[in-house]
Amino acid sequence: MPELPEVETVRRGLQPVLEGQKLISVVVRRNNLRIPFPKDFAKKLTGKTVIYLTRRAKYLLMHIEGGDVVIVHLGMSGHMTILEKNIPKPGKHDHVDFCTSGNVVVRFCDPRRFGLMTLTTEKKLDTHKLIKDIGPDPLANNFNYIILAAALVGRKTPIKAALLDQRTIAGLGNIYASESLFRSGILPMRLAHSINIVEVEKLTKGIRDVLSEALEAGGSSFSDHVKPDGKLGYFQNNFKVYGKEAEICSVCLKAQIKKIRQSGRSTFYCPVCQT
């Protein structure tokens, strides 16, 4: 599933072709994805200008003239592609087209249909059920180790599970949680409340560094992620532990990377570098 770097990469890629552009038509080819499309979804957007794009955690937000906001989640396999010339006919999994006054089509494709699109308003955005419980954004200027430490106080869940809880920190998923814990030298099985303040400071830096580097690389494209221009991200080439079970750790050069299951998710770690 796309995580924060992938969604932010999509947002930045779409900015030049959507912001300030009028939606001359919106084509919706099915009634639902993971949830039903709102009634008159296309009609409410047609003729309106996209003011700007933002992101909350793993949600892409399209702020529309008049106060509406489109909430987009890419799901497991969804991607948005910019089409400008010789626009191909939609395929079986091409569910939504946003056609702009700049003669560009932004097409949403989602083979597994785990993504979603819905509508809210600027006034109701912060209290929307998909948004209201989301924690702090780890790339925000005001995010620091004190905020993370406060979120971990008394938590008797493994630190990996705590990081995946979107109420603790926004946008961090399975890949970047594993990589961040490796960089900070913390075993993913440690209980969250056992992480001391020095370790939390290292963890905060590890999270920010991993996400920033992944964003610079356009995200990770070992699965379904594709940037809006059709190019792949390449941060998967920089993974230290994720997906490297039984390989020798590239840092300590001693231990094999281990893989365990936590809450139904794969976790990767080095038993020497992480304690």
The per-residue pLDDT for range 122-145, each reduced to its tens digit, is 999 999 999 999 999 999 999 999
Q: Which amino acid is at 200?
A: V
Q: Which of 136, 139, 147, 137 is closest to 211 using CA atoms?
A: 139
Q: How confident is the model at residue 53 (pLDDT cuts 50, 70, 90)?
A: very high
The pLDDT of residue 223 is: 56
Say yes or no: 76 and 150 in one domain. Answer: no
Indicate whether 168 and 258 sit together in one domain. yes
User: Does the residue 231 lie in any domain?
Assistant: yes
> Does residue 140 sit within a domain?
no
Active site (annotated) includes residue 208: no
Catalytically annotated residue among 2, 5, 136, 188: 2
Whether 36 is catalytic: no
pLDDT (mean) for 13-17: 96
Asked if the structure places residue 275 within a domain, the reply is no
CA–CA dist 230, 38 (Å, integer): 28
Q: Classify residue 137: in a domain, yes or no.
A: no
Q: Is 271 a catalytic residue?
A: no
Q: For residue 233, give the CATH number of its domain.
A: 1.10.8.50
8 A C-beta contact, residue 270 and residue 249:
yes
Q: Is 16 a catalytic residue?
A: no
Look at residue 220 in the predicted model and tell me its pLDDT: 80
pLDDT at 230 over 80: no
Both 32 and 82 in one domain: the answer is yes
For residue 252, name the pLDDT band (cuts at 50, 70, 90).
very high
* Catalytic member of 3, 6, 8, 179: 3
pLDDT, tens digit (0-9, with 9 covering 90-100), for 150-187: 999 999 999 999 999 999 999 999 999 999 999 999 99
Q: Which of 11, 58, 244, 258 is catalytic?
A: 58
**How many independent structural domains does the chain possess?**
2
| One domain for residues 99 and 160 | no
Tell me the pLDDT tens digit for each residue of 189-216: 999 999 999 999 999 999 999 999 999 9
- pLDDT of the residue at 77: 87
- 142 burial class (0-12, 13-18, 19+ CB within 10 angstroms)? exposed
Residue 164 belongs to some domain of the structure: yes
In this prediction, residues 35-63 reach a mean pLDDT of 97
117 and 83 in a common domain? yes
**Amino acid identity, residue 220?**
S
Domain range for 259: 145-269
Name the 3-class secondary structure at 235.
helix
